[in-house]
């Protein structure tokens, strides 16, 4: 049985499913997935916990399944956070160095200065993600400590979220006797699992389309520049099918996964499917193209919203590597093709990478966040601190973790 300090657990509390992924870290630093448990999620809406009871129940079942498979007793987890309460800001701070050479103390002060911004009272800082340092007028510096200079400037991306949403996630985990090691913005986690370093360097948009939310992150010059959450996902597609095809939500979701497509031109017009009816009526045959006709405008609408956000961010022309689509809904037939049309940039599907072990089981885009949480946890384990309750302490914890990040050249 692996020791606790060798085990990392990612708990993705999604709108559609809860996924608990257990990995073992070998002495040489390899991360192997040794267990996975999933359970349909019933207590969330648009990425946010709205029913503690049912969320706790789903988490418990997913965790139990993962424990059984991995043969470990799970005590702490890395978990994600999403929802339209999430805000991302770019900020910067400037200080004068104390000894004409940048020391850790100067870095701490400059980040403190960058953090000083007006945040609404019900929001708390979740992440301070370093982008670059500028020493005197030399920009693009990743590792400033030890360099000479009198003026130190830090550019950072600050992510804030609603205190109550974060607390509810922690409450659900604690009710399942789980400690939360850290809470990570879902697209930051997914990015760990699906993006390549060269993509992050030349510029890339990550789009994680889940059940209730679409999470966006833009990377350039190796670091995160912009984050945004759109409260629309695959569940909206399913709802459109419920109305358009007059069938139950369960059937509609299954039909969507099996036969759905979001580009009518990709579906041969002779393809027929059978739609189970409600109220004991007989199933009806229907051309598969009808489904595509329902789904295409909705996906197009979502893509237009993403495009607007890209324009607003000012990075649209700068993402040379194009777009990476992940999350369960990216599996819908025609997603990549339609995205290439709408965004006029190269688009690829992002499957989780960077882990060994049960790779086949976690290779679906659905597990991008879960696998990413493990990779994130692996990278930042030393500097993260376990905490039982977030009360008043998110800031202190983030501050501690952040110091670790700034010492990390990656
Ligand atoms: N093969 C498929 N084709 C189309 N849609 C799919 C397919 N497989 C899964 N989906 C859809 O993906 C969605 C679930 O994706 P995912 O598991 O990434 O969501 P989640 O993480 O639970 O939710 P969120 O991140 O929004 O909180 C559901 O709407 C589901 O219908
Ligand atoms: Mg998700």
pLDDT score for 164: 92
Q: Which of 185, 189, 104 is nearest to 152 (CA)?
A: 104
How far is the C-alpha of 403 from the C-alpha of 50, rounded, in Å?
33
Indicate the pLDDT class of residue 279, thresholds 50, 70 and 90: confident
Distance in Å, CA 327 to ligand 1 centroid: 6
Task: Let me know if 17 is exposed, middle or buried by CB neighbors in 10 A (0-12, 13-18, 19+).
Answer: buried
Task: Number of helices (H) and strands (E) in the chain: give both, helices first.
Answer: 11, 19
Contact 210 CB / ligand 1 (< 6 Å): yes
Asked if residue 77 lies in contact with residue 94, where contact means CB atoms within 8 angstroms, the answer is no
How far is the C-alpha of 339 from the C-alpha of 214, rounded, in Å?
14
Q: CA dist 194 to 46, 136, 306, 365, Å?
A: 23, 35, 19, 8
Distance in Å, CA 16 to ligand 1 centroid: 6
Contact 240 CB / ligand 1 (< 6 Å): no
Q: Which of 325, 327, 339, 323 is nearest to 365 (CA)?
A: 327
Catalogue all structural domains in the chain, each as residue range(s) with its CATH number: 4-84+163-193+352-390 (3.30.420.40), 87-161 (3.30.1490.110)
Contact 211 CB / ligand 1 (< 6 Å): yes
Reply yes or no on whether the pLDDT at 369 is more than 90: yes
pLDDT score for 2: 67
Q: What is the mean pLDDT of the chain?
A: 91
pLDDT score for 87: 93
Contact 329 CB / ligand 1 (< 6 Å): yes
Whole-model pTM: value is 0.91
Distance in Å, CA 257 to ligand 1 centroid: 9
Helix (H) or strand (E) holding 224: strand 223-230
Distance in Å, CA 12 to ligand 1 centroid: 13
Pocket probe mutation, ligand 1, options 12, 14, 16, 193, max atoms within 8 Å of Cβ: 16
- Give tens-digit pLDDT for 64-81: 999 999 999 999 999 999
Pocket probe mutation, ligand 1, options 239, 242, 328, max atoms within 8 Å of Cβ: 328
Q: How many residues does the chain have?
A: 410
Looking from the CA of residue 213, the nearest atom of ligand 1 is 26
Tell me the ligand closest to 19's alpha carbon: 1
Contact 332 CB / ligand 1 (< 6 Å): yes
Asked if residue 13 lies in contact with residue 80, where contact means CB atoms within 8 angstroms, the answer is yes
Q: Which of 146, 141, 116 is nearest to 130 (CA)?
A: 141
Asked if residue 113 lies in contact with residue 106, where contact means CB atoms within 8 angstroms, the answer is no
Contact 321 CB / ligand 1 (< 6 Å): no
How far is the C-alpha of 191 from the C-alpha of 203, rounded, in Å?
13
């Amino acid at each position: 049985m692996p020791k606790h300090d060798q085990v990392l657990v990612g708990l993705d509390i999604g709108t559609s499913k809860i996924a608990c992924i257990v990995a073992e870290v070998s002495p040489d630093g390899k991360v192997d997935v040794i267990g996975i448990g999933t359970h349909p999620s019933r207590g969330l809406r648009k990425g946010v916990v709205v029913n503690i009871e049912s969320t706790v129940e789903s988490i418990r079942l997913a965790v139990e399944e993962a424990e059984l498979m991995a043969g470990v007793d799970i005590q702490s987890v890395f978990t994600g956070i999403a929802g339209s309460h999430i805000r991302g800001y770019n900020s910067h701070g400037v200080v004068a160095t104390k000894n004409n050479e940048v020391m850790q103390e100067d870095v701490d002060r400059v980040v403190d200065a960058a953090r000083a911004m007006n945040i609404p009272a019900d929001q708390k800082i979740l992440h301070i993600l370093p982008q670059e340092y500028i020493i005197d007028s030399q920009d693009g510096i990743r590792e400033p400590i030890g360099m000479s200079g009198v003026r130190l400037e830090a550019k950072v991306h600050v992510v804030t979220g609603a205190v109550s949403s974060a607390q509810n996630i922690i409450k659900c985990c604690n009710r399942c006797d789980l400690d939360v090691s850290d809470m990570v913005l879902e697209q930051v986690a997914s990015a760990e699992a699906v993006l390549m370093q060269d993509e992050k360097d030349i510029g890339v948009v990550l789009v994680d389309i889940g059940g209730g939310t679409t999470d966006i992150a833009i990377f350039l010059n190796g670091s995160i520049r912009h984050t945004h959450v759109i409260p629309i996902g695959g569940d909206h597609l399913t709802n459109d099918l419920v109305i358009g095809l007059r069938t139950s939500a369960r059937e509609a979701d299954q039909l969507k996964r099996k036969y759905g497509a979001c580009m009518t031109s990709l579906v041969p017009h002779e393809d027929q499917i059978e739609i189970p009816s409600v109220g004991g009526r007989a199933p009806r045959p229907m051309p598969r193209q009808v489904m595509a006709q329902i789904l295409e405008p909705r996906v197009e609408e979502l893509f237009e919203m993403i495009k607007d956000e890209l324009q607003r961010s000012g990075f649209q022309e700068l993402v040379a590597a194009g777009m990476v689509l992940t999350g369960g809904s990216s599996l819908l037939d025609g997603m990549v093709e339609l995205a290439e049309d709408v965004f006029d940039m190269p688009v690829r599907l992002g499957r989780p990478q960077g882990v060994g072990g049960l790779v086949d089981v976690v290779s679906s885009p659905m597990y991008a966040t879960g696998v990413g949480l493990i990779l994130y946890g692996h990278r930042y384990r030393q500097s993260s601190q376990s905490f039982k309750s977030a009360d008043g302490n998110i800031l202190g914890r983030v501050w501690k973790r952040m110091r670790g990040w700034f010492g990390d050249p990656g």
